[in-house]
Amino acid sequence: MAMLRAEQVSFSYQGKHETVHAVKDFNYDFKPGSFYAIVGKSGSGKTTLLSLLAGLELPTQGQVAFQGDTTTQMDCDLFRRDHAAVIYQNFNLFPQLTAQENVMYPLRLQKVDRQEAAQRAQEALAQVGLSPTQWCRYPSHLSGGEQQRVAIARTLAIRCEIILADEPTGNLDEENTKSITDLLLRLAHEQDRCVIVVTHDRSIAARADAVLELRDGRLLQQEQAHEE
Ligand SMILES: Nc1ncnc2c1ncn2[C@@H]1O[C@H](COP(=O)(O)OP(=O)(O)OP(=O)(O)O)[C@@H](O)[C@H]1O
Ligand SMILES: [Mg+2]
Protein backbone atom coordinates (compact mmCIF):
# COMPACT_ATOMS: atom_id res chain seq x y z
CA MET A 1 0.00 0.00 0.00
CA ALA A 2 1.20 3.52 -0.73
CA MET A 3 2.56 5.49 2.19
CA LEU A 4 2.34 8.75 0.33
CA ARG A 5 0.29 9.12 -2.83
CA ALA A 6 0.48 11.99 -5.30
CA GLU A 7 -2.46 12.14 -7.68
CA GLN A 8 -2.35 14.46 -10.68
CA VAL A 9 -0.50 17.04 -8.67
CA SER A 10 0.21 20.38 -10.27
CA PHE A 11 1.61 23.46 -8.63
CA SER A 12 2.06 27.00 -9.93
CA TYR A 13 3.81 29.96 -8.37
CA GLN A 14 1.64 32.99 -8.99
CA GLY A 15 3.81 36.04 -9.50
CA LYS A 16 2.68 39.58 -10.20
CA HIS A 17 3.46 39.37 -13.87
CA GLU A 18 3.85 35.69 -14.55
CA THR A 19 2.76 32.24 -13.47
CA VAL A 20 5.41 29.55 -13.11
CA HIS A 21 4.07 26.03 -13.60
CA ALA A 22 6.66 24.32 -11.41
CA VAL A 23 5.09 20.84 -11.11
CA LYS A 24 2.79 19.37 -13.75
CA ASP A 25 0.45 16.42 -13.42
CA PHE A 26 2.67 14.39 -11.11
CA ASN A 27 1.41 10.93 -10.18
CA TYR A 28 3.26 8.55 -7.93
CA ASP A 29 2.80 6.09 -5.07
CA PHE A 30 5.65 6.18 -2.58
CA LYS A 31 5.93 2.98 -0.56
CA PRO A 32 7.45 2.19 2.82
CA GLY A 33 10.82 0.46 2.81
CA SER A 34 12.03 2.22 -0.33
CA PHE A 35 14.63 4.84 -1.09
CA TYR A 36 13.61 7.22 -3.88
CA ALA A 37 15.90 9.67 -5.68
CA ILE A 38 14.37 12.72 -7.33
CA VAL A 39 16.69 14.07 -10.00
CA GLY A 40 16.55 16.70 -12.72
CA LYS A 41 18.15 19.93 -13.83
CA SER A 42 18.13 23.09 -11.78
CA GLY A 43 14.66 24.61 -11.95
CA SER A 44 12.98 21.33 -12.95
CA GLY A 45 10.69 21.39 -9.88
CA LYS A 46 12.41 19.06 -7.41
CA THR A 47 12.26 21.30 -4.34
CA THR A 48 8.71 22.32 -5.18
CA LEU A 49 7.71 18.66 -5.42
CA LEU A 50 9.34 17.89 -2.07
CA SER A 51 7.48 20.85 -0.51
CA LEU A 52 4.21 19.46 -1.87
CA LEU A 53 4.97 15.99 -0.46
CA ALA A 54 5.81 17.54 2.93
CA GLY A 55 2.67 19.67 2.99
CA LEU A 56 4.74 22.86 2.98
CA GLU A 57 2.87 23.82 -0.18
CA LEU A 58 -0.59 22.69 -1.23
CA PRO A 59 -1.23 21.51 -4.78
CA THR A 60 -2.88 23.97 -7.13
CA GLN A 61 -4.52 20.89 -8.64
CA GLY A 62 -4.67 17.25 -7.62
CA GLN A 63 -3.79 15.92 -4.20
CA VAL A 64 -1.12 14.50 -1.94
CA ALA A 65 -2.42 11.91 0.52
CA PHE A 66 -0.83 10.27 3.53
CA GLN A 67 -2.67 7.13 4.67
CA GLY A 68 -5.78 8.40 2.94
CA ASP A 69 -5.77 11.97 4.34
CA THR A 70 -4.93 14.73 1.90
CA THR A 71 -2.54 17.55 2.80
CA THR A 72 -5.31 19.97 1.96
CA GLN A 73 -7.50 18.53 4.75
CA MET A 74 -4.94 17.67 7.40
CA ASP A 75 -2.97 19.79 9.86
CA CYS A 76 0.32 19.85 7.96
CA ASP A 77 2.34 21.05 10.96
CA LEU A 78 1.28 17.92 12.82
CA PHE A 79 1.91 15.80 9.72
CA ARG A 80 5.53 17.02 9.63
CA ARG A 81 5.93 16.84 13.39
CA ASP A 82 4.77 13.23 13.68
CA HIS A 83 5.05 11.55 10.29
CA ALA A 84 7.16 13.31 7.67
CA ALA A 85 10.46 14.89 8.63
CA VAL A 86 12.27 17.23 6.25
CA ILE A 87 16.07 17.36 6.08
CA TYR A 88 17.87 20.22 4.34
CA GLN A 89 21.25 20.81 2.73
CA ASN A 90 22.24 23.30 5.44
CA PHE A 91 21.20 20.91 8.25
CA ASN A 92 18.80 23.41 9.93
CA LEU A 93 19.83 22.73 13.51
CA PHE A 94 19.20 25.19 16.31
CA PRO A 95 22.64 26.77 16.94
CA GLN A 96 21.91 27.49 20.60
CA LEU A 97 20.98 23.87 21.40
CA THR A 98 23.39 20.95 21.76
CA ALA A 99 23.17 17.94 19.45
CA GLN A 100 21.10 16.06 22.02
CA GLU A 101 18.83 19.03 22.72
CA ASN A 102 18.27 19.43 18.98
CA VAL A 103 17.08 15.84 18.78
CA MET A 104 14.97 16.19 21.92
CA TYR A 105 13.26 19.37 20.75
CA PRO A 106 10.54 17.83 18.53
CA LEU A 107 9.94 15.12 21.15
CA ARG A 108 9.26 17.79 23.75
CA LEU A 109 6.80 19.35 21.28
CA GLN A 110 5.14 15.93 21.16
CA LYS A 111 4.89 16.14 24.97
CA VAL A 112 7.27 13.24 25.53
CA ASP A 113 8.63 13.68 29.06
CA ARG A 114 12.18 14.94 29.47
CA GLN A 115 13.71 11.69 30.64
CA GLU A 116 12.22 9.59 27.87
CA ALA A 117 13.08 12.29 25.30
CA ALA A 118 16.71 12.27 26.47
CA GLN A 119 16.85 8.50 26.24
CA ARG A 120 15.31 8.38 22.76
CA ALA A 121 17.62 11.18 21.60
CA GLN A 122 20.69 9.31 22.84
CA GLU A 123 19.57 6.09 21.14
CA ALA A 124 19.03 7.95 17.87
CA LEU A 125 22.37 9.76 18.09
CA ALA A 126 24.13 6.46 18.76
CA GLN A 127 22.34 4.87 15.79
CA VAL A 128 23.71 7.51 13.42
CA GLY A 129 27.21 6.89 14.76
CA LEU A 130 27.76 9.89 17.05
CA SER A 131 29.61 9.38 20.32
CA PRO A 132 28.47 10.62 23.75
CA THR A 133 31.09 13.39 23.71
CA GLN A 134 29.51 14.72 20.52
CA TRP A 135 25.97 14.62 21.95
CA CYS A 136 26.64 17.62 24.15
CA ARG A 137 28.37 19.73 21.51
CA TYR A 138 26.76 22.69 19.79
CA PRO A 139 26.32 22.42 15.99
CA SER A 140 29.14 24.92 15.41
CA HIS A 141 31.50 22.45 17.07
CA LEU A 142 30.51 19.57 14.80
CA SER A 143 31.56 18.89 11.20
CA GLY A 144 29.04 19.17 8.37
CA GLY A 145 28.69 15.40 8.19
CA GLU A 146 28.13 15.20 11.95
CA GLN A 147 25.54 17.98 11.83
CA GLN A 148 23.67 16.11 9.11
CA ARG A 149 23.74 13.00 11.33
CA VAL A 150 22.13 15.02 14.10
CA ALA A 151 19.42 16.15 11.67
CA ILE A 152 18.83 12.51 10.70
CA ALA A 153 18.85 11.42 14.36
CA ARG A 154 16.06 13.93 14.94
CA THR A 155 13.90 12.16 12.35
CA LEU A 156 14.72 8.79 13.95
CA ALA A 157 13.80 9.92 17.43
CA ILE A 158 10.36 11.08 16.36
CA ARG A 159 9.89 7.73 14.60
CA CYS A 160 8.43 9.32 11.50
CA GLU A 161 7.50 7.03 8.63
CA ILE A 162 8.63 9.41 5.89
CA ILE A 163 11.94 11.21 5.47
CA LEU A 164 12.12 13.94 2.84
CA ALA A 165 15.54 15.35 2.10
CA ASP A 166 16.56 18.18 -0.23
CA GLU A 167 20.19 17.73 -1.28
CA PRO A 168 21.12 16.30 2.14
CA THR A 169 24.70 15.74 1.03
CA GLY A 170 25.05 18.94 -0.97
CA ASN A 171 27.49 20.42 1.55
CA LEU A 172 29.42 17.25 2.27
CA ASP A 173 32.56 15.64 0.87
CA GLU A 174 32.58 12.28 -0.88
CA GLU A 175 33.21 10.20 2.23
CA ASN A 176 30.45 11.84 4.25
CA THR A 177 28.13 11.69 1.25
CA LYS A 178 28.63 7.95 1.14
CA SER A 179 28.08 7.39 4.85
CA ILE A 180 24.97 9.62 4.99
CA THR A 181 23.61 7.77 1.93
CA ASP A 182 24.38 4.42 3.61
CA LEU A 183 22.47 5.61 6.65
CA LEU A 184 19.42 6.78 4.67
CA LEU A 185 19.38 3.50 2.72
CA ARG A 186 19.46 1.54 5.97
CA LEU A 187 16.55 3.54 7.34
CA ALA A 188 14.52 2.60 4.27
CA HIS A 189 15.55 -1.04 4.00
CA GLU A 190 15.96 -2.05 7.63
CA GLN A 191 13.40 0.17 9.32
CA ASP A 192 10.80 0.24 6.58
CA ARG A 193 10.75 4.00 6.26
CA CYS A 194 9.89 5.83 3.06
CA VAL A 195 12.94 7.92 2.17
CA ILE A 196 12.69 10.49 -0.63
CA VAL A 197 15.86 12.36 -1.53
CA VAL A 198 16.36 15.19 -4.00
CA THR A 199 19.87 14.92 -5.36
CA HIS A 200 22.20 16.05 -8.12
CA ASP A 201 24.57 13.26 -7.19
CA ARG A 202 24.44 10.36 -9.65
CA SER A 203 26.23 8.08 -7.17
CA ILE A 204 23.26 8.46 -4.79
CA ALA A 205 20.68 8.02 -7.53
CA ALA A 206 22.47 4.84 -8.66
CA ARG A 207 21.79 3.28 -5.25
CA ALA A 208 18.10 4.21 -5.11
CA ASP A 209 15.27 1.72 -5.48
CA ALA A 210 13.62 4.11 -7.93
CA VAL A 211 14.81 7.26 -9.68
CA LEU A 212 12.23 9.89 -10.55
CA GLU A 213 13.48 12.33 -13.12
CA LEU A 214 11.75 15.67 -13.49
CA ARG A 215 12.04 17.78 -16.59
CA ASP A 216 10.32 21.11 -16.71
CA GLY A 217 8.00 20.05 -13.86
CA ARG A 218 7.02 16.72 -15.39
CA LEU A 219 7.94 13.21 -14.34
CA LEU A 220 10.02 12.07 -17.25
CA GLN A 221 10.98 8.52 -16.70
CA GLN A 222 11.34 6.10 -13.91
CA GLU A 223 14.45 4.00 -13.92
CA GLN A 224 14.50 0.98 -11.69
CA ALA A 225 17.90 0.79 -10.10
CA HIS A 226 19.22 -2.36 -8.47
CA GLU A 227 17.79 -3.48 -5.15
CA GLU A 228 20.20 -3.18 -2.24
N1 LIG B 1 8.89 31.21 -4.68
C2 LIG B 1 8.89 31.09 -6.00
N3 LIG B 1 8.23 32.00 -6.78
C4 LIG B 1 8.19 31.88 -8.11
N5 LIG B 1 8.80 30.89 -8.81
C6 LIG B 1 9.48 29.97 -8.11
C7 LIG B 1 9.57 30.03 -6.67
N8 LIG B 1 10.32 28.98 -6.25
C9 LIG B 1 10.68 28.31 -7.37
N10 LIG B 1 10.18 28.89 -8.47
C11 LIG B 1 10.33 28.42 -9.85
O12 LIG B 1 9.75 27.14 -9.97
C13 LIG B 1 10.54 26.30 -10.80
C14 LIG B 1 10.96 25.07 -9.99
O15 LIG B 1 11.80 25.48 -8.92
P16 LIG B 1 12.41 24.45 -7.88
O17 LIG B 1 13.03 25.25 -6.79
O18 LIG B 1 11.37 23.47 -7.52
O19 LIG B 1 13.54 23.74 -8.78
P20 LIG B 1 14.66 22.69 -8.37
O21 LIG B 1 14.52 21.54 -9.32
O22 LIG B 1 14.61 22.40 -6.93
O23 LIG B 1 16.01 23.49 -8.73
P24 LIG B 1 17.46 23.42 -8.02
O25 LIG B 1 18.10 22.14 -8.51
O26 LIG B 1 18.17 24.63 -8.59
O27 LIG B 1 17.29 23.48 -6.55
C28 LIG B 1 11.69 27.16 -11.28
O29 LIG B 1 11.35 27.66 -12.55
C30 LIG B 1 11.76 28.26 -10.27
O31 LIG B 1 12.28 29.44 -10.84
MG1 LIG C 1 15.94 22.78 -5.32
Ligand 1 contact via 88 beta carbon (within 6 Å) = no
- Taking CA atoms only, the protein residue closest to ligand 1 atom 18 is 45
Number of H helices, E strands in the chain: 8, 10
| Ligand 1 contact via 45 beta carbon (within 6 Å) | yes
The residues spanned by each domain of the chain are 1-83+161-228, 97-159
Class of domain 1-83+161-228: alpha beta
Q: What is the distance between the alpha carbons of residues 137 and 98, in angstroms, rounded to a whole number? A: 5
Please report, in tens digits, the pLDDT of each residue of the chain (228 residues total).
789 999 999 999 998 999 999 999 999 999 999 999 999 999 999 999 999 999 999 999 999 999 989 999 999 999 998 999 999 888 889 999 999 999 999 999 999 999 999 999 999 999 889 999 999 999 999 999 999 999 999 998 998 999 999 999 988 889 889 989 999 999 999 999 999 999 999 999 999 999 999 999 999 966 555 544
* pLDDT value for 227: 46
- Residues 21/12, Cβ–Cβ less than 8 Å: yes
Q: Give the Å distance between the CA of 155 and the centre of ligand 2.
A: 21
Long-range contacts: 133-136, Cβ < 8 Å, 24+? 134/99, 135/98, 135/99, 135/100, 136/98, 136/99, 136/100
22 lines ligand 1 (CB under 6 A): yes
| Nearest listed ligand to the Cα of residue 12 | 1
Q: Which ligand is nearest to the CA of 14?
A: 1
